[in-house]
Structure 1
Amino acid sequence: MKKWLAILFCATMVTQVQAQQKTALFNGKDLTGWFVNGTEKWYVEKGQLVCESGPDKNYGYLSTNKNYKNFELTLQFKQEANGNSGVFFRSGIEGVKISGWQAEVAPINQHTGGIYESYGRGWLIQPKAEDEKYLKTGKWNKYTIRVVGDEVTTWLNGHQMVYIKDEKIGKGEGFIALQIHDGGGIKVRWKNLMIEEL
């Protein structure tokens, strides 16, 4: 009996340590810890982070004040209207010209989960056509992005979308950023943004 209690205690402690390593990137109240790039709309509504096209119908980014190198990021997103957006990592920016890599968030069959290099090589990898079905249009989706060294893996609603090993990504440095695409008519909601540095 004592042996099983000891095992249970150890398992509980490991779980607590793992939970403590995860940090909320969004506090559910305001944009503390983030920086707005561009004139598109970023606001908090009902504890959710919302990005929405502004009058300029241009690119916009909400970037973290801190840089992240190796991490696992989990979040939930829900696309309203046109959902063309994404999550940049190891990125830098001048005005609204961003350099780095994007884990895509887009409407159905537009490669959510794929990796795109901004102002560089373009698409590095896209999900298989049969995996596009894992996106839930108009509903909450769980997204996981793991970046370690030169390796990037994405999961959408528990299903692995892509894996890539890339030397240039391995040398990258910079922040995490949420994107709103140009063109107007875009609205995406985000919540439960949690990061674990690795």
Structure 2
Amino acid sequence: MKQLMLLPALLLLVAGLMAQKNQSLFNGKDLTGWTIHGTEKWYADKGELVCESGPDKQYGYLSTNEKYKNFELTLQFKQEANGNSGVFFRSGIEGVKISGWQVEVAPLNKHTAGIYESYGRGWLIQPKPEDEQLLKEGQWNTLKIKVINDEVTTWLNGHQMVYLKDEKIGQGEGFIALQIHEGGGIKVRWKKIRIKVLG
């Protein structure tokens, strides 16, 4: 009998731990939990997170206040204009000079879901040319990024795009950040930004 009484409590505990590991990074109303870097525009609109070029037409970043090492991140994005953006992981920043690694979000055939190292080695891996066509410009796309120790895997719209094993990435640590590229005329919408911490 005592064992049966303990079962609901254990189930609640397990559910609570799972909820802690799978959480939303954007509340749909404001930028709570995030920090803006630079003068470009970041704002909430109708439950979506918007990044848009500002008058300076420079790089801009929106970083999580928390740092994440091993995780699975899923989000949706829609490119309304140009779309040159990205998702950084294990990153740090001084002003608007960022360190870390970027999973690219860009116009068609510009290597969305590939991995780029800013101010370092440049492109580490790009998707196959035929996989580039999975990007739906002007529509919602689903991007998934899984980072475990020195391994990174990305998916676009349910299709695996790249897999990379890299010692330098394995040593990295820091926050997650969304980017807006320099040059102006860029506007990207984001939603359903969720992270599962993998320990």
What displacement does 1:21 show? 2.7
> In structure 2, what is the equivalent of residue 72 of structure 1?
72
Distance of 2:75 and 2:148 partners within structure 1: 18
Identity of counterpart residues, as a percentage?
A: 78
Distance of 1:141 and 1:29 partners within structure 2: 21
State the secondary structure of the residue aligned to 1:170: helix
> In structure 2, what is the equivalent of residue 85 of structure 1?
85
The superposition leaves residues 104-162 of structure 1 with CA deviations (integer Å, 9 ceiling, x where unpaired) of 00000000000000100000000000000110010000000000000000000000000
Equivalent residue runs for 1:106-125 within 5 Å: 106-125=106-125
Q: Does 1:104 align with 2:89?
A: no
> In structure 2, what is the equivalent of residue 190 of structure 1?
190
What displacement does 1:14 show? 8.0
User: 2:143 is aligned with what amino acid?
Assistant: Y
Equivalent residue runs for 1:7-156 within 5 Å: 18=18, 21-156=21-156
- Go from structure 1 to structure 2 and tell me whether the alpha carbon gap of 1:16 and 1:128 turns closer, same or farther (over 3 Å shift): farther
- Go from structure 1 to structure 2 and tell me whether the alpha carbon gap of 1:31 and 1:127 turns closer, same or farther (over 3 Å shift): same
What displacement does 1:20 show? 5.5
User: 1:42 is aligned with what amino acid?
Assistant: W
The superposition leaves residues 10-38 of structure 1 with CA deviations (integer Å, 9 ceiling, x where unpaired) of xxx98896565310000000000000000
What displacement does 1:42 show? 0.1
Q: How many residues align?
A: 188
The superposition leaves residues 41-96 of structure 1 with CA deviations (integer Å, 9 ceiling, x where unpaired) of 00010010000000000000000001000000000000011000000000000000
> In structure 2, what is the equivalent of residue 4 of structure 1?
none
What displacement does 1:197 show? 0.4
State the secondary structure of the residue aligned to 1:138: coil
Q: List gaps (5 residues or longer) in structure 2.
A: 1-12
Distance of 1:97 and 1:105 partners within structure 2: 18
TM-score by structure 2 length?
0.91
State the secondary structure of the residue aligned to 1:134: coil
State the secondary structure of the residue aligned to 2:132: helix
User: 2:43 is aligned with what amino acid?
Assistant: Y
Q: List gaps (5 residues or longer) in structure 1.
A: 1-12
Distance of 1:96 and 1:72 partners within structure 2: 25
Q: Runs of 4+ in structure 1 displaced over 4 angstroms?
A: 13-20
